[in-house]
Structure 1
């Protein structure tokens, strides 16, 4: 599958992040806990430099417990603070605020010595499209300020938002990879919905996902769809899922578009199981 997508507004966003860096004390880097490598922008390290950073592993309720632990250990070894977050159910949000205050402790003391008290901590949130940025912002701020949607590219321009715990947040539009050197990165982003579905062939995507899950989580597939994947081709497995889910059209033909949409949707909503597609 050829996946290559880098709209012009992504370039503008990158320039905007660089420009606004001097306005903030701390960076929130939002990643998808199922694909922390693929959802991390490779330019972020060079853009952010030595600015304090918290890696927020969102959708951690959809990724495996074991995967979550390994990723937290990985960031700890790199000296980067990380938090497991499920922004839909408000899990991990207080920890984000607590770590922010901890990281800014020294700066706050220096300001207090100069007589400046209660100055808000200013943070900037960066992340690829559709990793749950708007939902996270709404949960942190306790309001319905940021537009949300299960489609990439809802956030359009920069906006300051007041958060709990004397924090102010500069939101930025989602920034995607400039290009995908590695096909598996493009696929991971497609599986999780970071790339608009209209740009993809949903049937090929579902086949690739089933292929990956047979290698990594075969039991989940068997349990979810009441099938046996042992010694079967991907085509046969998808065919079995279609039969069990009633995706049969006229003349007993398999409706591959329908079954593909079911598989992708089941994966994205965690119905197949808690799945981590990348480990450190």
Structure 2
């Protein structure tokens, strides 16, 4: 590993063929839905917002759900909820596996569709179920959300990107009809740091990622924003700023040294990234609401 390595925006790009097909299908289905539930990762609310999706949605009412709130810094999440909310956008944050979802989500959808529902009633039309497209980038919890709302396993789930490959309708009681869609990334990250934080949080397949460079970025960010967590987990003190030296400390602590006493870089990096994603280090937000992705 070179300590001076830096990312470029072209390093982390992932746009499998099924995503191109899904994008076209979503364009067609948007014509028949009333609103959109967009899932974003609470740890990276800016980076996990697909600009292609925003362009497709246009002015349709939108409920933004910040998933994985149990993994994010709760103070930062509260700030993001306030920042992202607007007249046509409601924002909720959840731990999808444990929180009560049905009541707050149905209530938010009804609130967003209130004007249309009232117009239907005035015309003597019985309001039908609200048709909602569920969308977002890979691995933000779309299928988990749908299965929880439907109270049965309908959508395939997996803690890896690219599980859902086709569109499908799911009825949720009498009030919602959900259209599940595959996770769609965009072809090129204009901001290189978007690729960094999406890679760290698992939105991109590890097989196409420069994992050593992600680890360096993560350690620099943690040192700047969460130094106490590095101290508590790995004993990395204030005097240490070099991410390469931090990796050596982690390797020694875990016994990841080779026969020549050099660091087993692969095992050390894999362990660090796994512990970040499993919240072993702590609840971390990789963006701030006042600065989005910050340089470190």
The answer to whether the superposition gives a TM-score over 0.5 is yes
- Name 1:73's counterpart in structure 2: 82
1:32 to 1:141, Cα distance in 2 relative to 1, 3 A: same
How many residue pairs get aligned? The number is 280
Q: CA deviation at 1:127?
A: 0.3
Q: Which moved more, 1:133-142 or 1:160-169?
A: 160-169
Is the 8 Å Cα contact of residues 101 and 149 (structure 2) preserved in structure 1?
Answer: no
Partners of 1:45 and 1:133 lie apart in 2 by 17
Is the 8 Å Cα contact of residues 86 and 92 (structure 1) preserved in structure 2?
Answer: no
Partners of 1:147 and 1:76 lie apart in 2 by 30
Q: CA deviation at 1:91?
A: 4.5
Is the 8 Å Cα contact of residues 106 and 175 (structure 2) preserved in structure 1?
Answer: no
Secondary structure of the structure 1 residue equivalent to 2:179: strand
Q: CA deviation at 1:117?
A: 3.0
- Name 1:252's counterpart in structure 2: 261
- Name 1:28's counterpart in structure 2: 37
Q: CA deviation at 1:147?
A: 0.8
Partners of 2:159 and 2:142 lie apart in 1 by 11
Is the 8 Å Cα contact of residues 97 and 165 (structure 1) preserved in structure 2?
Answer: no
- Name 1:136's counterpart in structure 2: 145
Q: CA deviation at 1:266?
A: 1.1
Matches within 5 A, 1:129-208: 129-164=138-173, 166-208=175-217
- Name 1:5's counterpart in structure 2: 14
- Name 1:120's counterpart in structure 2: 129
Q: Which moved more, 1:152-161 or 1:64-73?
A: 64-73
Is the 8 Å Cα contact of residues 84 and 92 (structure 1) preserved in structure 2?
Answer: no
Secondary structure of the structure 1 residue equivalent to 2:85: helix
Structure 2 unmatched ranges of 5 or more? 1-6, 290-296
CA RMSD of aligned residues (A): 1.8
Question: Cα deviation per residue 1:227-280 (whole Å; 9 max; x = unaligned)?
Answer: 324233111111111111222233333211111111111111222111111122
Q: Which moved more, 1:224-233 or 1:176-185?
A: 224-233
Secondary structure of the structure 2 residue equivalent to 1:88: coil
Is the 8 Å Cα contact of residues 124 and 169 (structure 1) preserved in structure 2?
Answer: yes
Partners of 1:223 and 1:189 lie apart in 2 by 25
Question: Cα deviation per residue 1:170-221 (whole Å; 9 max; x = unaligned)?
Answer: 0111110220111101011100111100111222221221111111111111
